[in-house]
Amino acid sequence: MQPLTNKAQAVSRKPMTFLERLYLINIIKGMVITFSHMFKKQPTIHYPEQKREFSPVFRGLHVLNRDEEGKERCTACGLCAVACPAEAITMEAAERTEDELHLYREEKYAAKYEINMLRCIFCGLCEEACPKDAIYLSETFAPANYTRKGFIYGKPDLLIPNPKTEAAALAMAKGVEA
Amino acid sequence: MTILSFDWAFIIEKLIMIAIIVFASLGIALYTTFGERKVAAILQDRPGPSRAGPFGLLQPLADGLKLITKEEIIPSHADKWLFILGPGLAMTASLLTCAVIPWGTAIHVFGRTVELQIADINIGILYVFAVVSMGVYGIMIGGWASNNKFSLLSALRAASQAISYELAMGLALIGLLMTTGSLSLKTIVEAQVAGNWWNVVYQPLGFLIFFICAMAECNRTPFDLPEAENELNFGYHQEYSSMKLGFYLFAEYINMIMSSAIMASMYFGGYDLPFFDESTVAPNIAAMIGVGTLLIKIVLFIFLFMWIRWTIPRFRYDQLMSLGWKTMIPLALFNMLLTGAIILAKL
Amino acid sequence: MSTLEILFYALSAFAIISAVMVLVSKNPIHSVLWLILVFFAISGHYILLNAQFLAIVNIIVYAGAIMVLFLFVIMLMNIKQENEFKKHLLVKFIGVLSGGSFLVLLVSLVKQTVQLQGQKVLLKEGNIGLIHPLGKALFTDYVVPFEISSVLFLSAMVGAVIIGKK
């Protein structure tokens, strides 16, 4: 294999000299190194006060999108569930009735939509598969929970706030970016 | 009847002194644990404990509270009384050392001259040695009483390490004692205050040996084989929990403070502030400056201990023994002979 | 009774009780620990005699070093009460007899000594136990026995090293 750096050194097997056997010089060298680290910049991020920037391609918790009038975009076609390699998505479809017109954009909608966050690998294939721009991966991650059941996110957990009725909550959820 | 015909004021004065020094030592030890974590963190580019209180200053209190409120566990096959005696003995032995350390010159309060030393006994250094050798029992008894093979092995290691390095320590000291001609710490410090140079100038080799041996006696890191995590799990305090564990951990820090104080007194002039004429200020203020100077020296030594701990890895056990017996003791003997020869040549 | 005498009797009682406990304790580790307490009591007596140097050396050497080695050996031997071998009755009898006669011998010796009769204990007097007189005595009047005993120690050390090498 080609050497990756020019720092490689052959191991020297010659017996140590008296000064080397004293180790005092090497100990002092080591102590100078540790002392110099006192003045180095600390890379620590003090978490709750400071947060590390998410990378632009970060894929976190899913959200179910609504359109501008607050109607759910999902039409329960099942493409996301098919695309999901971890089989984390379950859904049940239902037909929209007359008095639900303001709730759902399409004639068919997801009556139940569950994502098991313990199974999900956050690959983002559901996002790519969705023809209706209904599911997106956001920039948060699943918080800890006491039970496994707590990690199965239903529709109330996934849906974004309604831009019509809960504009303030939506603005908060969008955060600084908005 | 001569019973109870003491100088009661003297007794009260000494009791107050003891209380102040013991509580001050405990307080400093408390913050030494904090200092250790901070120093370790800073040397490793981390911020260290910073949550409890401003700059994390309340962290040691939180740690202490945690230790006190933890469940006391005594193993079912342990020797109960010795199991309790062990940490108590370790703590007592390390606190006893502070009796002979001269913290400063005398101060004058309420018309009395109060020496800032609990007891100026004429065999001060030997007393320190006696107390240090008692400290080994705390570890041995605790390790044996735990009824655990790892604890026992580590107790044996601790004892043999302490005995081996105590020898070299004593021999290194003989060189110093030859130059000072006294065993009393107070006299040694006063000679340094009066003289031109600190003893470390006359005894550099002796100091180096003493320092290394002190590190070994305190079970500090290049020599912390009694609690080697990777081979003995946690060493002699493996079975301990709650404040009994706290006592063992605390005793180590108090030992560190005491050995720093002794090194500062014997080799670095004790409460002597260089280039400062004490007669220019009031005697009480001069005494306080002296106490402050000694404390600063102690803090510097403690920092040195920590700095070494977070730089140098642990010895192997045979390396430890060969360093102690084959290097330190011959070097100390050589130092002794050299000192003797120089003293004879000067006469 | 002066304070010093009270201290003397307290220390003596402490020493004797601890010494009895050394013999009575079933567990050898406990015996060693009681023995350490005996050494402490005796060091206390040395201090009462104004012999601080002897007191401290007694603690450093006996309580600090030799007893640690005792503990070492006993801890490693792992003596249990169950596997203590049964002593023959005759052996016990002979043991009691020889021990008792040694005690009688000691007591009679002390009683016969003229110097000790009617003497009070020497408290806070004399200075032979301090480091200066002791050093002077050892290196002037008793220098030959001192050096001979050091040669003895040296030979013991050499012997230990030779045994250890085997």
Each residue's pLDDT, cut to its tens digit, for chain B (347 residues) gives: 455 566 777 788 888 888 888 888 888 888 888 888 888 888 888 888 888 878 888 888 888 888 889 888 888 887 888 888 888 888 888 888 888 888 877 777 777 777 777 777 778 888 888 888 888 888 888 888 888 888 888 888 888 888 888 888 888 888 888 888 888 888 888 888 887 788 888 888 888 899 988 888 888 878 887 777 777 777 788 888 888 888 888 888 888 888 898 888 888 887 877 777 767 777 778 888 888 888 899 999 999 988 888 888 888 888 888 888 888 888 899 999 999 898 888 87
Domain that holds residue C166: 130-166
Contact C38, C18 (CB under 8 A): yes
> Would residue B223 count as lying in a domain?
yes
3-class secondary structure per residue, C61-84: HHHHHHHHHHHHHHHHHCCCCCCC
pLDDT confidence of residue B268: 86
- What type of residue sits at position C81? Q
Give the other-Cβ count within 10 Å of A43's Cβ: 7
The C-alpha angle C39, B122, B205, rounded to 5 degrees, equals 95
Q: State yes or no: ipTM above 0.85.
A: no
- Domain CATH code at residue C24: 1.20.120.1200
Answer whether B3 sits within 8 Å of C68, measured CB to CB. Answer: no
Q: Are residues C97 and C145 in the same domain?
A: no
A110 lies in which domain range? 62-177
Are residues C36 and C10 both part of a single domain?
Answer: yes
Do C30 and C55 belong to one domain? yes
Alpha carbons B203 and B343: distance in angstroms, whole number: 12
pLDDT tens for B118-134 read 777 778 888 888 888 88
- Do the chains A and B touch each other, judged by at least 3 C-beta pairs below 8 angstroms? yes
Residues C123 and C166 in one domain: no
Closest partner residue to A42 (CB to CB) among B46, B307, B308 is B46
C97 to A7, B143, C92, C100, C104: CA distances (angstroms): 82, 39, 9, 5, 11
Do C and A touch, 3+ Cβ pairs within 8 Å? The answer is no
**pTM for the full model?**
0.80
Residues C65, C26 within the same domain: yes
Per the domain annotation, does A32 fall within a domain?
A: no
Strand stretches in chain C, DSSP E: none
Domain contains B158: yes
Instruction: For residue B162, give the nearest of B203, B194, B130 by alpha carbon.
Output: B130
- Same domain for C46 and C99: yes
| One pLDDT digit (tens) per residue for chain C, 166 residues | 677 778 888 889 999 999 998 888 888 888 888 998 999 999 888 888 878 888 888 888 888 888 888 888 888 776 665 556 667 788 888 989 999 999 999 988 888 776 666 666 566 666 777 778 888 888 888 899 989 999 999 999 899 989 988 7
Buried/exposed A76-111: b ≥16 CB within 10 Å, e otherwise: bbebbbebbeeebbbbeeeebeeeeeeebbeeebbe
For residues C56 and C13, membership in a common domain is answered with yes
- Cβ–Cβ under 8 Å, residues C33 and C70: no
Task: Tell me the pairing of strands B112-114 and B107-109.
Answer: antiparallel
Considering the domain boundaries, does residue B59 fall inside one?
Answer: yes
Q: Are C39 and C68 in contact (CB under 8 A)?
A: no
Find the CB nearest B312 among A27, A40, A44: A27
d(CA B337, CA B334): 5
Determine how many CB atoms are found less than 10 A away from the CB of residue A172: 11
Report CB contact under 8 Å: C71, B122: no
Select the residue from B156, B169, B217, B333 to test the C interface by mutation, using most C Cβ atoms within 10 A.
B156
| Distance, CA of C32 to CA of C25 (rounded, Å) | 9
Which residues, listed in sequence order, are joined to residue A78 by a DSSP beta bridge? none
Give the helix/strand (H/E) hosting B112: strand B112-114
In a domain, A163, yes or no: yes
Length of chain C, in residues: 166
Number of domains into which chain B is organized: 1
Give phi and psi for A37, each to the nearest 5: -70, -15
Q: Is residue A127 part of a domain?
A: yes
Q: CA of B222: which chain A residue's CA is closest? A: A27
Residues C110 and C64 in one domain: yes
Using the Cβ of B40 and the Cβ atoms of chain A, whether some distance falls under 8 Å is answered with no
Calculate Rg over the CA atoms of chain C.
Answer: 20
Burial per residue of A122-138, b for 16 or more beta-carbon CB atoms within 10 angstroms, e otherwise: beebbbebbebebbbbb
Q: What are B299-305's contacts with CB under 8 Å, separation 24+?
A: B301/B259, B301/B260, B301/B263, B301/B264, B302/B32, B302/B35, B302/B256, B302/B257, B302/B260, B303/B35, B303/B39, B305/B215, B305/B218, B305/B220, B305/B256, B305/B260
Handedness of CA A34, A40, A43, A49 (dihedral sign): positive
Longest Cα–Cα distance of chain A, Å, equals 95
Q: How far apart are CA C137 and CA C131, in angstroms?
A: 10
Asked whether residue B3 is domain-assigned, the answer is no
C45/C114 same-domain check: yes
| Encoded tokens for A94 | 């239902």
In a domain, B1, yes or no: no
Chain B residues within 8 angstroms (CB to CB) of chain C:
2-6, 79, 82, 121-123, 126-127, 129-130, 133-134, 136-137, 140-141, 144, 152, 155-156, 159-160, 162-163, 166, 183
| Number of structural domains in chain A | 1
Task: Tally the domains of chain C.
Answer: 2
